[in-house]
Amino acid sequence: QVQLVESGGGVVQPGGSLRLSCAASGFTFSSSGIHWVRQAPGKGLEWVAFIRYDGSNKYYADSVKGRFTISRDNFKNTLYLQMNSLRAEDTAVYYCARRGISGSPDYWGQGTLVTVSS
């Protein structure tokens, strides 16, 4: 079955960096676009970034553009999110989610918590 497993979350100081990973299994990873989505504590869901199946195009929310970088390794079936210049407002659970055929994300990981605090 389709599985997405995030890792790499933790506590980091403002201005610091963190790299999240999302390990995929149960489907042809190299054929699927993947999103990062986040949810601040007690808040709603916010789209963060997307990468096409082959890594040829990457897209970002304005709130993270220039600070976050999405990438993928199709040989390792793994998605990444490099987060630099972190701010308190980046504190959230970060989910990876597969883009479904219909266009909306169909499968989600369980999430990894990032806390930006001094």
Q: How far is CA 29 from the centre of its chain?
A: 15
Q: Which is nearer to other proteins, 62 or 118 (CB)?
A: 62
In the complex, the smallest distance separating the C-beta of residue 8 from other proteins, rounded to whole angstroms, is: 16
The residues that touch other proteins, with contacts defined as CB under 8 A, are 33, 35, 44-47, 50, 52, 59, 61, 95, 99-100, 102-106, 108-111
Q: Which is nearer to other proteins, 50 or 80 (CB)?
A: 50
With residue 22 as reference, give the H or E element that holds it: strand 18-25
Distances (CA, A) of 71 to 3, 53, 60, 64: 18, 10, 12, 14
Closest by CA to 31, choosing from 92, 105, 99, 96, is 99
In the complex, the smallest distance separating the C-beta of residue 20 from other proteins, rounded to whole angstroms, is: 15
User: What is the spatial distance between Cα 16 and Cα 67, in angstroms, rounded to a whole number?
Assistant: 11
In the complex, the smallest distance separating the C-beta of residue 4 from other proteins, rounded to whole angstroms, is: 9
In the complex, the smallest distance separating the C-beta of residue 110 from other proteins, rounded to whole angstroms, is: 6
Q: Which is nearer to other proteins, 13 or 39 (CB)?
A: 39
